[in-house]
Structure 1
């Protein structure tokens, strides 16, 4: 999870069950302070999905 300069939290969601991942992305997207930057199905996809992120804000250190 990354907090970008304007106070928006940008997240990457990793969950292997498609319907649960999409539901979580949908719920988080309802909050104006949270942006889901990517949703992936496995842990192996996390690094490639986050590789292009510019971490201009502060990382929280939370998983």
Structure 2
């Protein structure tokens, strides 16, 4: 009977580490998604701001 309890202990440890690996992978995917969304958001905002700055009407009055 000691062999059965050893198998159960090993199986429980293996299952625990596999579960921890899945959870860690989930966190990595979520973090990469957040980083990607922020990167895309920043790049599009910079392009839109550059377009808006270029479209400002220039004053025809020069000097005073």
TM-score bracket for the superposition, by shorter chain length: under 0.3
Higher helix share: 2
TM-score (norm 1): 0.25
Higher strand share: 1
